Structure 1
Amino acid sequence: MRLLGLLVIAVVAAVAGGAGSALAAPATTTPSTTPTPAAPSGSPVPETGIPMLDEVLNTLAGNLGLGGTGSSEVDSSQMIVVTAPEANDTTATLTAFERGTDDAWKPVIGPTEAFLGSLGMGEPEDNVYRTPEGTFDLDQAFGRLPNPGTKMPYKQVDRQDWWDSNMKSPTYNTMVRQVQSPGGDSENLYDSGPVYDYAVNIAHNPERIPGKASAMFLHVTNNQPTMGCIAIEKDLMRQVLTWLDPAKHPKIAIGVNQAGPSGSESSTPQTSTPQSSTPQSAVPESATPQSTLPSTSPSTIPGADSLTQLLNQLVSLLPSLFETTAGP
């Protein structure tokens, strides 16, 4: 326990020193000629360069719920945000953001109207027409039409391509190619019609847990609520696909009054007023971005929020550690 106490003190000193140096540096909007190396994919906090300290920091970050697939902006430069005022709304506002070289997030597609499940959004379940709420990876694209030019893995489907939604199947919640249906609620990705002219998988259930819902996509709309997917106008869906880049770790964030990425320019959701069907490459310059979403404080220090939470956690442990090491 004495060694652990010393280790915690060392961690606090290392983190405080690093954070203090960063805070002392003057803020600038011009990218440095020697950019600070980004944290590795999946790492919730910047590395200190000391293996033992990095292991402790990342372990504690995991315990605090920081970082990890579908919960962090650290490893992503593309984020699609889907927001609605109420959980039972069947329409929402969709905006795509990209992080630039200056580390600032800017809207590049939308805002536009999107259809949700007929039961709105929330906890996903099989046979329940509800859109999953949370932040998820976008990992696989497909469509009845040829590849529009996306960098994502893309499969042009025909009548032998299915999305397996049979909860008893070993390939549940994956695309399979076979003549016969895998059974259950599996969908034929061609016969489902024009809604699957273009689509990308929302990886909300990567563990493929039966009952946690299958076949949740961002796809083309038929102007009606969905069975749990998110649907937008066809030309805009094609634009989204050509924009998506797996090297930028694209994610989709879905929620009630879902905020945009930290420090981003967000427009006020207009779910009651459908947007024009003409794809928008950016918010018009004449529109002043105003948000009714929960405010976020842009940080000029990548990972600062994570470091603050970790530091608070470590500091709270010190009294008990000193008491233990002191002994009777």
Structure 2
Amino acid sequence: MIQRRTAVALLASPLLLTGCGGGAEATERRTPAHGPDPAPTPDTSTRPAPGGIPGLGPRRSAAIPGRCEQAVVVTGRGRESPLCTVVLHQRTDTGWRSGPAWPAHNALHGWSARHRAGDLRSPLGVYTLSDAGGLLPDPGSKLPYHRSGGFRSPGTGFEGEPLEGSFDYVVAIDYNRRPGTSPLDWTRPLGPGRGGGVWLHVDHGGPTHGCVSVAKAHMKELLRTLDPGRHPVVVMGDADWLAH
């Protein structure tokens, strides 16, 4: 049974890793696994309310659930770029309060609105954040934390950088996965062809297969701040897409 706070994830299959393109081995050079295409965003001509999230246009703002009080916004430098910034925004009585901007990486080939496994692009969309985990002990996560040796990440990335430590801390993005399970869970509700294992994780200094990566200190801060009672989401895409 998986506990609500800290649990050891045990896999029934020989797969050691499922995140950020992981399959039988954790390496950025293997075929990636990603989630389903993002749900359609409702069209609207309304303007964001005062105190809205900077950089988000009316359509993207409308896609954030009304009960959401924490939004991790991932802003890509361009549709084909693997570089992005991550900002945690928290809702207050007077609007959204923005945290610092953290440098980050996304997928090697940028972003896609019709994301498929193997395209080396990160999925555009708004997704809930329900579960966390990692190779290291729980640093004080408010999300359920699943510790496991399955988070080891051997190998090298696209630029020859070592991947070791990339999955010391992760937050699963609810993209073709079953919320309430370990990030290592292999269940893909839409089928393996639609991918899965898209995470926020520790940056290794280069592009990912589809995940978003930030420095270890920033991952620890996210884990200690994201609160399931505040219904956190991630809003992710290139700057032009986010602005609509």
TM-score category, normalised to shorter length = 0.5 to 0.7
Change (3 A) 1:213 1:131: same
Structure 2 letter corresponding to 1:121: W
Give the number of aligned pairs.
168
Residue 242, structure 1, aligned to residue 224, structure 2: yes
Task: Measure, in 2, the Cα distance between the counterparts of 1:113 and 1:119.
Answer: 17
Q: TM-score, normalised by structure 2?
A: 0.63
Q: Does 1:209 align with 2:188?
A: no
**RMSD of aligned residue pairs (Cα, Å):** 2.6
3-state DSSP of counterpart to 1:152: coil
Structure with greater Cα Rg: 1
Per the alignment, residue 142 of structure 2 pairs with 151
Distance in 1 (alpha carbons) for counterparts of 2:109 and 2:212? 12
**Structure 1 residue identity aligned to 2:105:** F
* CA separation of 1:209 and 1:235: change in aligned 2, threshold 3 A: same
Q: Which has the higher contact order (CA 8 A, sep 6+)?
A: 2
Distance in 2 separating the partners of 1:216 and 1:117: 10
Which residue of structure 1 aligns with residue 101 of structure 2?
111
2:85 pairs, out of 83, 88, 93, with 93
1:197 is aligned, of 164, 168, 175, to 168
CA separation in 1, counterparts of 2:138 and 2:105?
A: 24
The CA deviation at 1:72 is: 2.6
1:10-52 deviation digits (Å, cap 9, x = unpaired): xxxxxxxxxxxxxxxxxxxxxxxxxxxxxxxxxxxxxxxxxxx
Structure 1 or 2: larger strand share? Answer: 2
CA, structure 1 residues 63+71, in 2 after alignment: closer, same or farther (shift >3 Å)? closer
Report the CA distance shift for 1:73/1:103 in structure 2 as closer, same or farther (over 3 A): farther
Structure whose residues are more often helix by fraction: 1
Q: Structure 1 length as normaliser, TM-score?
A: 0.47
1:129 aligns with 2:120: yes
2:70 paired residue number = 78
- CA deviation after TM superposition for structure 1 residue 103, in Å: 4.5
Any stretches of 5+ residues in structure 1 without a counterpart? 1-61, 162-188, 261-292, 295-328
SS in 1 for 2:101: strand
> Is the Cα–Cα contact under 8 Å of residues 83 and 258 in structure 1 kept in the other structure?
no
Could you tell me which amino acid in structure 2 is paired with residue 229 of structure 1? C
C-alpha distance in structure 2 between counterparts of 1:63 and 1:235, whole Å: 32
**How far apart, in 2, do the equivalents of 1:89 and 1:191 lie?**
24
Q: Is the contact made by 1:116 and 1:226 (CA closer than 8 Å) also made in structure 2?
A: yes
Q: CA deviation at 1:73?
A: 3.2
Cα distance in structure 1, aligned partners of 2:126 and 2:64 = 8
Question: Secondary structure of the residue that 1:218 maps to in structure 2?
Answer: strand
Q: Can you give the 5+ residue segments of structure 2 that lack an aligned partner in the other structure?
A: 1-39, 45-58, 155-163, 178-188
CA 1:155–1:230: 2 relative to 1, 3 Å: same
Instruction: Quote the Cα distance in structure 1 between the aligned partners of 2:209 and 2:122.
Output: 8
Counterparts in 2 of 1:63 and 1:104: CA distance versus 1, 3 Å: closer
Amino acid at match of 1:235: A
Instruction: Determine the structure 1 residue equivalent to 2:12.
Output: none
